[in-house]
Structure 1
Amino acid sequence: MRFTIRLRIIATMSLALVLALAVGLIGLYGVRSTYAGADRMYQNNVMSIVTVSAARAAIVDDRQALDRSLIDPSRRDAIAQIKLGHDRLMTAWTRYDPALVSDGEERTVATEFVSQMAETEPVVRREAELLDAGKTDEARRLHASKVADAMGRAMAIIDRLRLINAQQAAESAQAAATSFRHTWQMALAVLILALALLTGAALGLIRTITRPLEQARRLASAIQQGKLCNATDIAGNHEFSDTLHSLDAMDRQLASIVTQVRDVAEQVTLAASDLSQGTDDLSQRTQEQASSLEQTAASMEELSSTVKQNAQGARQARDMAVRTREHAEEGRAIAGSAVDAMDAITQASREVGEIVAMIDELAFQTNLLALNAAVEAARAGDQGRGFAVVATEVRNLAQRSGAAAKNIKSLIQYTTEKVFEGATLVQRTGDALHHIAGDVREVTTIIEIIAAASEQQAAGIGQVNTAVITLDQVTQQNAALVEQASAASRNTLDLSQALVNQVAFFSLQGQPGSRR
């Protein structure tokens, strides 16, 4: 059976009520016993003493009436006084016997008094008759010989009855005192037992309530300070132990969530660091490519000017043939350099494409990690709300990085195509210059053909120049996009590091949190 806090409180209160009821019943029993003893002493002893005292007083009155008549022979009321005294005696005795006679000894003495009164009454009445008849001397002799002794014995019996009732009253008082002492001792013992039991029950109840509350307070304080995986010793099978079990389960669940979030955050940090380093390298190479394209454009402009001069020189005279040949050779060398530059640009575009593919893959993985982190944060509820916001921002940055990588990839493909076209045109220019260099030897015969070819070359180089300028613009745009990607990757790195620092607030038991 589960002994809950409610049952313990009910049991403690029930014990208190039972003990209070026991003390009350003992007190009521003592009061009832005391009252019964007092009532018995009053009814059996006090009233008996009162009635027998009244009877004795009636005998004393009769004796005084006889004495007054003996002293004053002229009085003639002895019979009336004796009759009044006798009536008072019988009234008192009737109240006493048999109602107030309590034991055998008292019954024996009462019977003896009745016998004595049966003997005394006739002689007393005889003396009264003699006194009322004026026979004082005869009445005096009767009084001295019989009446005085009979009345004395009757009064002695009455005194014995009074003594018996006084002894009985003393015994009743002693019994009442003994009963009161026993009742008082019993009530005191029960009261002491009640205090001991209630004190033990109260201490046990307080310990049962305060110990789990203190454990819950310490556990909540540790979680508030970021300390997880706290070892909690849970004892008992009541409401507070259930609360401690729930808090301990929450502590373990938070530790599991923090561990997973920490691992994911560290992985995101590593990925963001790699992404930032890659975008920085890509930015540097893109800037170098833009510089090379600027140099190529300048070379193409010089080549165009030279070809135009060659065409003009071909129209002027043969004496310009040698110079034309030298310019042709120079143009051939420049074209070869342009071809090499185009090849380098093509190779750099391929490398940029590979880096962009890697950026796209990192953005995809970061998006997956952010999605997993958002799911774990949603599972955590209110405790993972802040982490869910960070995960959403990381996911948005990953999506933006992916979109930027796709745009860069498209632009690089377009640039590669244009570079390939420019390389083809430069190659053709080199071939044309090679033929020009061979035909210069026959400049005198085919100068017009060279002039026409120079015009065609000028037109082709103009197209190449336009293509190189366009490629330079595209490369500049690529460099700007790479700068944006680099800034986004650095922002992602900062956010992931901030996330790691926030998660590092929590520390597992035996595994302290680290701040990066």
Structure 2
Amino acid sequence: MAWLANVGVGTRLIVSYVLLALVGGVISTVGVVITAKMNDRAASMYARDLLGLKVSAAALSAAIYSDRAVRSAMLADDDDTRAQSLLQARRYRDEERTDLAEALRRLDLREEKDRKLAIVAKLAASDYDRAFDQIVAVIAGAKSGDNREARALLFSDFGDAIGPVDEALRALVGWSTRSAERSAAETAKFYSLSRVAQVSLTIAGIMLSLALGILISRSIMRPLAEAVAVADAVAQGDLSHAPQSAGQDELARLQDALARMVVNLRTVVQRVRVGVDSVATASREIAAGNQDLSSRTEQQAGSLQQTVASMEQIAGAVAQSSASAHQANSLASTVSATADRSGLAVGDVVRTMAEITASSRRMAEIIGVIDGIAFQTNILALNAAVEAARAGAHGRGFAVVAAEVRNLAQRCAQAAQEIKCLISHSTGRIEKGAQTVSAARDTLHELVAQVQRVTELLGEVARASAEQNSDIGQVNQAVAQLDRVTQQNAGLVEQGSAAARSLQAQADELAASVAMFRISASAFA
């Protein structure tokens, strides 16, 4: 049995299948040969014995019918009946010849008695043919009712010839019958021997199959039983035993693989136990850290919510400041426009005052001319008065006129002087007003420039407020996003804490699962 363990399982099965196929082939071949032999015997018995018996019996019947037909022809009252009977007699005689020749052809002439039987049958048939031809010729040539010669032949030559033919044909029938009986007996004997041989071969094949099956099954089942026992032990957590392999077949390799599996499982279980302890410790630490992180994250989330509220207040204040800056910018723009219009109006006033000053100066010049004319008129009146005084009485009226002219000239000069004083005073005021208006224009120009600068500054303040509002909005969004992220982080921390607790529970379950494995103390010694 030890040598069988070095033969592969596939080789064993193939060899057993080949042997079983050979045994089955031998049994089938023997059965086919036996069947062929029995078929040959049956064909021989049919061709030689049964057909020989058939043609022998047919020849005997034909001889009997031929004899009857001859007798009927001999006793016929008319020529037609006689001719018909003779025709039947010849036909039966021809059948008897054919069947006899066939029976003699099928006769086994290997034995002496069979050869003698054939010779006797041929001689009897020859004598019968001569006697038949003779009596048929006599009957055919005889007149109606004249059968004396035929009757004489019937009881002499024909009667003497028909007896040996009948005996020979009966002997052939008997021989065919006995030959058929012998063939049947031989066939039965051959069948018995064949059945015994086939049954013996079948029993031998069954015994060989059982022996091979038991041998191969034992060579396979023992290692398989050991492997199953080790697998059951491993399934129950017992890793203290490993199978011992013997041989080099597939089952030995299976046992070696199981042994390596057990050793590897021992190593894995040992490492898993150590790893489970480490995982349990780490999961507890992770759970504690996650709990602490969760509380801190919640505090951070609260602070972020407060920050979000503060940023919203700041955003509102900045938005209000931006709106106020926009309003101030609008007002400054309005004031700048008003100042521009005032500057334009002051410019118009300055121009008007300049025109008035020019007109006053022109009036002063005109008054000066009038004053000069009045002075000259006064001098002329004075000269006229002097000349009138010189003229005496003739010049008295002219003197009066000259005096009146002089008075008018003096009054005109005095009025012109007063007008000149008024114009001078007005011109001074106009010039002072023009200077004041010019100063006001310059002041308005400075005011317009300052208002424009204020407008620009307010525009910059408004833009800065808008940018600050946008930045604060972005900061607010970032803080809100940070708040959401913090909330998500809090959720993730909670999930991490739950995962750590689940990991700890799974580690405990894994430790409980690994605890079922039993490892011998010497396994890792």
TM-score, with length taken from structure 1: 0.49
